[in-house]
Amino acid sequence: MSPYLIMNPFGFPILSTVIFLPLVGVLFILFLRDDNNIKITAFVAGILTLLFSLVLFFNFDAGTPLFQFGERLPWIPAYNIGYVLGVDGISIMLIVLTAMISPICVLCSWKAIEKRVKEFMICILLMEAAMIGVFCSLDFILFYIFWEAMLIPMYLLIAVWGGPQKDYASLKFFIYTLFGSVFLLVAIIALYLVNGAFSIPEAMFKGYSFQFQFWVFLAFAIAFAIKVPMFPFHTWLPAAHTEAPTAGSVFLASILLKMGTYGFMRFCLPIVPQASFYFAPFMIVLSVIAIIYGGFVCLSQTDMKKLIAYSSVAHMGFVTLGIFTFTMYGFVGAMLQMLNHGVTTGALFLMVGIIYERTHSRQIYDNAGLGKFMPVYVGFFGMFAVSSFAFPGTNSFVGELYVLISTFSRSKITGFFAVVGAVVAAAYMLRLLKQIVWGREDKRDLTDLNVREFVYLTPLAVFVLWVGLFPSPFVRIMENTLVHLFMQLDKFSH
Amino acid sequence: MTLLPELYMLLFSIIFLFLSLGKNKIALFTAARGLALLGFAVALACSGARGDLFSGAYQVDFFSQVFKVLLSAGFTLIVFMFEKENEVENLPEFFMFLGFSTLGLMILVSSAELISIVISLEISSFSLYAVVPLRKAQTKRQLEAAMKYLFFGAISTGIMLYGMGYLYGMAHSTYLTDIMAKLPQFLSQPLGVLALILTLTAFFFKLSLFPLHFWAPDIYEGASDATTTFIATIPKIAATALLIRLAMLASFAPAQLATVIIVLAAFSMTLGNLVGLVQKDVKRLLAYSGIAHAGYLMMGLLSFNQEGNAAVVYYIAVYLFMNLALFYVVMLLSRRGENVSINDLSGLARRSPLLALTLAVAAFSLAGIPPTGGFTGKFFLFVTAFKAGHLSIVIIAAVNTVISIFYYLNLVRISYSRESEDLQPLYMAFHEKVLCYLFNIIIIYLGLLPFGLIDLFRRAM
């Protein structure tokens, strides 16, 4: 029917199901009063969404770079806006990641959230729906609506259930992100006026004039760089991460930051390739600055959450570095790092949340020396911490290796600086790990992980080892899409 | 049939004129609501009416009927929202004046000739001058507001008449069609542009567009909640209608006029949003927000085509509902009719989750965040202005959206995240809840499913 979309083979619109299942959960929750029932309903909605997303995953045809499970309906014909959904190798894993993280967020808030449980769970489910919607949308306006709608529940998560400085953090988060988004909207309209439609695939590889590409790239880049966040737009991130409740931090780290890099891969490269090549040196320099700057800032942190937040800045630097080196290795590495960062950093935030529930402090010193009292906790913590600085055998090693190979193939100096950043990462993570395991001698009354916490950490741990030891299934599923992107870009590079 | 909505509105006002003579105040609200609802039904039923009256001075077409439905919907909702007997003095007169004002505006949207425009505008304005001081709670402020409104309103009408004089002198006709047909000839002279701008002054005044915005904050603050709600929404709809009618009659896009509109729009939105940042009184804040929105509206008029005009109508419709929703929250919060300050919102989410939700939906819509109607409306405006080649104003508006989110978000933030000592649940009657749900649903509906309405508006242009 259309050259870029393979229509949905199922008898029902599966992508819409995945997007709107959490909203059905919201509907049920609206009529519930008991907090426990609300939590269970939210969890069930999350698990059902995960199951459907796994159906997507297992039925995904890795052999084609086209968009699959397509749905298409006219929506606002007056402006040629459609309800168009589709998934390709770039988005499929991010959807599964989102569907996996959401029930975990429900579980990790089971005890931590005491006030306004109903509203909290509604916010979580709204977030999930909007995030999956962002990754599925093939229409600019649909995409933009999901992209912006996400802000509201996220804002509320920080502003209502956040820490002492929640007002400052939530406002900064909202205004920063919105500032980027309005330029995204202007760029979208500019593309519409050229193409006559809001379809995303139809806007790709069109060979616009360089000047047009230049401005569209800048507008896109502001929006996505703020979301990633790239240096120097990162200042909202530590504040938001630190003040958000655990579930909010996990959503931010695991999914929201990925939207920026997803935007670069989905929009910047295919739609404005020449401008992307033109701006690549700047983006690479900013990425390297983020890697090194983030690393050094981490070294001086005493707050666990802040440390992990700044480490996100450094890790996302690797992702943008991978994207803008324009090699196959770079793309695969960037995609893998997106997933890895989502799992590992999300897990680290969960770990901080778990210990915070027990000691009511996020200071490293207050939580030091847990090795004797909480062996299971420390075991998980150690695993995620070494994964965070890309220890061989863990997931991040694979991703970072890909990115570093790509970087060295382009520029030795850049590669050198990136390696320095990776070493700094080892330094701050090991410092944190050492403090947490052996930092204090005194006896404290702390209980180890309970079953609920064990259950939601296990899948993340499995993922860490799986990707670390046997990444090929994940690489294969995205490979064709990335090869296609790479070939198309190659055509436009001259 | 053609004049039925107007006649009905006249009847409504006359009924309340007689009710104001008697002593019997029983069932006044029920009567007002029933009659207003019937009026809405009449307006809806007459939406198919077509005709020319008074040799073309009065045009009843789809365009005017769409606006009459909007006006009457707004009027009906305000009558339903308003219920504090202790807030406004002389209740029957209050309804009467609101009725007369709406009648004037209904005539205005059909007028296609200078004299009928003046007359209809004055019917509406004079009723409003009388309504502003009808407030019990504060004594001095509302009198100050009434005086200011009267003087500024009278001056703006005077300026309009002055401009109309020039227009007549140039076109030798009071019919808009004749004037617009001759417009290209005299727009090349500074006097021509001046005449047109002076004529538009009264409408810019109603819209509270820069530089005729200064009355809004004081009048919003001084008048009672219900009066403010009316002034903030209904006259703006009619003023927009007239501006669109002029734009429709212009067969070309006059560059000089476009420049003037861009400058006014840019100043209006920037000034409104920047001053809005520091406001403490919610109604004052909404006044500045209204000034900013008048600037946004102007963007759609820049394109001088069907698509742009439809976008403007869509935006004013959304504007009506989101403003009504926010004002309703203000009304329900101040049961005794006092002004609501921003800090009074603290703990609202605890006291009444529904009211807090309504506030949030309305505020996000005013700020233009999807999936609310405010976003969709603004998006249409952006597209048409960009299409007409005015990228500069689109970027200014985009930046303004970011500035404005600061104070809209502040409303949401205080109501959701700040605790207050007063944790008494806010009691809401059944119909109040229904009205809140209705506003929320309409705003989201306008945000997500605009296709039917925007096509309808395009056909009306």
Task: State ipTM.
Answer: 0.87
pLDDT for B112 beyond 90: no
Element (H, E) at A334: helix A328-359
- A81 → chain B, closest CA residue: B451
Give the pLDDT confidence score for residue A197 in this predicted structure.
Answer: 86
Give the pLDDT confidence score for residue B251 in this predicted structure.
Answer: 66
Nearest CA to A417 out of A427, A409, A408 is that of A408
Structural domain includes residue B393: yes
Residue of B277, B369, B387 best to disrupt the A interface, most CBs of A under 10 A: B369
CA distance B391 to chain A (A): 9
pLDDT for B421 beyond 80: no
Q: Tokens in use for B42?
A: 């009449």
Structural domain includes residue B185: no
CB A273 within 8 A of CB A215: no
pLDDT for B320 beyond 50: yes
- Give the pLDDT band of residue A218 (cuts 50, 70, 90): very high
Full residue range of the structural domain in which residue B325 is found: 253-461
Q: Chain A contacts of B349, Cβ < 8 Å? A: 116, 119, 160
Q: Chain A contacts of B380, Cβ < 8 Å? A: 79
Cα angle value A197/A203/A204 (rounded, 5°): 165
Q: Which residue has the tokens 């008697």?
A: B22
Structural domain includes residue B347: yes
CA distance B97 to chain A (A): 40
Write down the mean pLDDT value for chain B: 86
Give the pLDDT confidence score for residue B286 in this predicted structure.
Answer: 92
CA distance B370 to chain A (A): 5
* Cross-chain CB nearest to B416 (options A77, A141, A160): A160
Q: Chain B contacts of A219, Cβ < 8 Å? A: none
B417 vs B266, residue with greater confidence: B266
How much of chain B, in percent, has pLDDT values that exceed 70?
96
Beta pairing, strands A5-7 & A67-76: parallel
Q: Chain A contacts of B399, Cβ < 8 Å? A: 182
Q: Chain A contacts of B308, Cβ < 8 Å? A: none
Contact yes or no for A182 and B416 at CB 8 A: no
Q: Tokens in use for B226?
A: 């219900």
Convert B270-302 to b/e letters by CB count within 10 Å (16 or more is b): bbbbbbbeebebbbbbbbbbbbbbbbbbbbbbb
pLDDT for A112 beyond 80: yes
* Cross-chain CB nearest to B387 (options A75, A116, A193): A193
Size of interface A-B (CB pairs under 8 A): 86
Structural domain includes residue B404: yes
CA distance A211 to A489: 18
pLDDT for A1 beyond 50: no
CA distance A168 to chain B (A): 11
Structural domain includes residue B402: yes
Residue B59: phi, psi to the nearest 5?
A: -110, 125
- A119 → chain B, closest CA residue: B353
pLDDT for B365 beyond 90: yes
pLDDT, average across residues B246-254: 76
The string of pLDDT tens digits covering residues A113-158 is 888 888 899 999 999 999 999 999 999 999 999 999 888 899 989 9
Q: Tokens in use for A87?
A: 């998934």
Q: Chain B contacts of A185, Cβ < 8 Å? A: 379, 382, 398
* Cross-chain CB nearest to A182 (options B402, B450, B454): B402
Nearest CA to A288 out of A321, A259, A313 is that of A321
CA distance B5 to B39: 7
**Distances from the Cα of A424 to the Cα of A314, A427, A442, angstroms:** 10, 5, 30
Q: Which residue has the tokens 């309800």?
A: A83
pLDDT for A440 beyond 90: no
- Give the pLDDT band of residue A405 (cuts 50, 70, 90): very high
Tell me which residues of chain A have a C-beta less than 8 Å from any C-beta of chain B. 75-79, 116, 119, 141, 144-145, 148-149, 151-152, 155-156, 159-160, 162, 166-167, 170-171, 174-175, 178-179, 182-183, 185-186, 189-190, 192-193
Element (H, E) at B60: strand B58-60
pLDDT, average across residues B258-271: 90
Structural domain includes residue B407: yes
Residue B53: phi, psi to the nearest 5?
A: -125, 160
Give the pLDDT confidence score for residue B137 in this predicted structure.
Answer: 64
Residue of B375, B378, B393, B456 best to disrupt the A interface, most CBs of A under 10 A: B375
Structural domain includes residue B429: yes
pLDDT for B292 beyond 90: yes
Give the pLDDT confidence score for residue A133 in this predicted structure.
Answer: 93
- Give the pLDDT band of residue B331 (cuts 50, 70, 90): confident
pTM confidence score:
0.91
Report how many domains make up chain B: 1
pLDDT, average across residues A241-259: 90
- Give the pLDDT band of residue B138 (cuts 50, 70, 90): low
Write down the mean pLDDT value for chain A: 89
- Please, which residues bridge with residue A137 across strands? A85
- Please, which residues bridge with residue B111 across strands? B58
Nearest CA to B197 out of B148, B233, B246, B238 is that of B246
The string of pLDDT tens digits covering residues A422-434 is 899 999 999 999 8
- Give the pLDDT band of residue B255 (cuts 50, 70, 90): confident
- Give the pLDDT band of residue A96 (cuts 50, 70, 90): very high
Give A445: exposed, middle or buried? Use CB within 10 Å, 0-12, 13-18, 19+.
Answer: exposed
Give the pLDDT confidence score for residue A473 in this predicted structure.
Answer: 87
pLDDT, average across residues B182-210: 84
Contact yes or no for B379 and A182 at CB 8 A: no
The string of pLDDT tens digits covering residues A40-80 is 999 999 999 999 999 988 888 888 888 888 888 888 888 88
Give the pLDDT confidence score for residue A347 in this predicted structure.
Answer: 92
Poorest-pLDDT segment among A98-107, B24-33, B158-167, B227-236 = B24-33
pLDDT for B422 beyond 80: no
Q: Which residues contact A251 (CB under 8 A, 6 or more apart)?
A: A101, A105, A124, A127, A131, A154, A157
pLDDT, average across residues A364-377: 84
Structural domain includes residue B419: yes
* Cross-chain CB nearest to B402 (options A166, A175, A192): A175
Sheet of strand A81-87: strand arrangement: A5-7, A67-76, A81-87
- Give the pLDDT band of residue B253 (cuts 50, 70, 90): low
How much of chain A, in percent, has pLDDT values that exceed 70?
99
pLDDT for A493 beyond 80: no
Q: Chain A contacts of B437, Cβ < 8 Å? A: none
The letter for the amino acid at B396 is I
pLDDT, average across residues A267-276: 89
